[in-house]
Amino acid sequence: MNRIATFLAALPLLAAGATAEAKVRLPALVGDRMVLQQRTDVQLWGWAAPGAEVAVAPSWCAPVGTTADAAGRWSVTVRTPEASFEKRTIAIGDGDGEPLRLEDVLIGEVWLCSGQSNMEMPVQGGRDCPVEHALEIIAESAQYPDIRLFTVRIDGAPEPREDVSGAWSEASPATVRDFSAVGYLFGRELHRALRVPVGIINSSCGGTWIEAWFPVALQRRFADFDPASVPVREGQSGMTTAEILYNGMIHPLRRFAIKGFCWYQGCTNVGRSRFYAEKMATMIDHWRTLWGGACKPFYYVEIAPVENGEQNVDCALVREQQARVMEMVDSVGMVCTNDLVYDYERWNVHPSQKEPVARRLAYWALSRDYGYGDAIKTIGPRYKSMEVLDGGVVRLSFEGSDCGFLFKGEIEGFELAGADGKFHPARAERRRPDPTVLYLSTWAVSNPVHVRYNFKNCSIGRLWDAFGQPVVPFRTDKTE
């Protein structure tokens, strides 16, 4: 029996009494309390002395071995079982000293959450940016120790890195308080529905462009590419620099098996959104390539209504670009948020209602990835067609309005324009016998040509389908 075979046979016994530290080094993501994606081939990797024979012994299967390359890098692939709440162990060693022993490893569902400040926002909220029901969420988190959390420390880099800073922790009042509210609540929704352990990796950074999250080489095709934004030195402070967060906070995670992605970003691209949909599609394709899944699910959040102090539609243009991604890329889904802003926080780019956002993200995952199918409605009605009737009345038809509409008070947010392109508020109503369509009219427009719904920086939606999903903003006058 050769040396590595002998060590593999002895590894479980050695691990049981391990006290000394092995020479093997592991990335931050591979550690105690982690969750591994169920029923798949997962990578376990790290560094050792060049040429070292490394053995890995999971408690659920036979040990496996490999040899570190000339740079000391090693990697093994292990098949994971079905999800369970059984606490597993993994022993890892190189035959020189006692092996490492990873404790409290769970098998379940793992998701990567990324984006800017609305994803980064912790459960405890921020200055003048509260999270609704924060105390209740924090207090109740003690019930969910099988939700595991990993926050990637914000760290940009001019070149792709191989590791991040962070550590896995159980959900608890102490850890949930500072963790991404949307990320944790998304994980909580999955845990409640599926009754399996859930791991959430939060890799987000406030105030960042989408360009910071994927490689420069993929951005040169866009007409608005700015060579001056390319990182040029270590320690650059600007986290909007092209690819800087991809290098430091996404690329190092690529070996860790995940089920899918959640994304909440877009506010910083207001005013420069012309190619946002194409950039987002490019980023999604690249991330999927990194994780080896051509159709790995990617669900994302539309930016909410906000007054930005300008008389323009720059925010609406970003939302329009975000909605386009659903037409461009398979296995994606958008959470609509136009109804999730209170009147008193119209100025706040960080609206407080994070639970409904997370719940709607989970609806996409449950419907598309966990067998719930059409039993769960994932998105509200979307514009289908318009017909101008006698008297200048417009009949609007929608995709996904089969069960009719819900609304509170007057139906607001619709506008009509004639050939002059000037939009005026329009009255919207339902008429029997068909509750699935809407009728619009205004005395200011006798011959309507175009219609808009909530196509403003800040127009709060108060129109839903029968399941409480908001109607998606739209316009018919796009000329590009």
- Kindly state whether residue 457 falls inside one of the protein's structural domains: yes
Q: Kindly state whether residues 350 and 461 are assigned to the same domain.
A: no
CA distances from 130 to 184, 337, 358, 384 (A): 16, 17, 16, 37
* Among 188, 194, 200, 205, CA closest to 133: 188
* 3-state SS, residue 43: strand
DSSP assignment letter at 322: H
- Maximum pairwise Cα distance, the chain: 91
**Strand spans (E) along 83-217:** 84-93, 100-115, 147-151, 168-170, 198-204
pLDDT for the residue 228: 66
Tokens of 460: 């709060």
Q: Kindly state whether residues 221 and 251 are assigned to the same domain.
A: yes
* Among 220, 225, 240, 226, CA closest to 156: 240
The segments of the chain whose pLDDT lies below 50 read: 1, 3, 13-21, 232-237
CB–CB of 27/167 below 8 Å? no
**Strand spans (E) along 59-180:** 64-67, 73-79, 84-93, 100-115, 147-151, 168-170
Q: Kindly state whether residues 346 and 201 are assigned to the same domain.
A: yes
Burial of 96 (0-12, 13-18, 19+ CB in 10 A): middle
Radius of gyration of the chain (CA): 25
Tokens of 391: 């008297």
Q: Kindly state whether residues 252 and 400 are assigned to the same domain.
A: no
Q: Kindly state whether residues 342 and 421 are assigned to the same domain.
A: no
Q: Kindly state whether residues 113 and 19 are assigned to the same domain.
A: no
pLDDT for the residue 95: 87
DSSP string over 215-242: -GGGTTTSTT--GGGS--STT---TTST
Could you tell me the CATH number of the domain that includes residue 179?
3.40.50.1110
Residue 412 lies in domain: 382-475
Q: Kindly state whether residues 282 and 138 are assigned to the same domain.
A: yes
* 3-state SS, residue 315: helix
Tokens of 204: 């987000």
- Kindly state whether residue 403 falls inside one of the protein's structural domains: yes
Continuous H helices in 225-293: 244-245, 276-290
Q: Kindly state whether residues 247 and 281 are assigned to the same domain.
A: yes
- Kindly state whether residue 480 falls inside one of the protein's structural domains: no
Name the phi and psi angles at 134, rounded to 5: -60, -45
Interatomic CA distance for residues 398 and 435, integer angstroms: 11
Number of domains in the chain: 3
pLDDT for the residue 478: 80
Interatomic CA distance for residues 348 and 220, integer angstroms: 33
The amino acid that residue 91 corresponds to is: A
Q: Kindly state whether residues 265 and 309 are assigned to the same domain.
A: yes
Q: Kindly state whether residues 362 and 437 are assigned to the same domain.
A: no
Could you tell me the CATH number of the domain that includes residue 73?
2.60.40.10
Helices vs. strands in the chain: H and E counts, helices first: 9, 23
Among 338, 358, 375, the domain boundary falls at 375
Interatomic CA distance for residues 46 and 387, integer angstroms: 62
- Those residues whose C-beta lies under 8 Å from the C-beta of residue 286, and which sit 6 or more positions away, are 214, 215, 218
Tokens of 152: 């990637």
- Kindly state whether residue 212 falls inside one of the protein's structural domains: yes
Tokens of 169: 């922790």
* Among 260, 245, 247, CA closest to 200: 260
- Kindly state whether residue 157 falls inside one of the protein's structural domains: yes
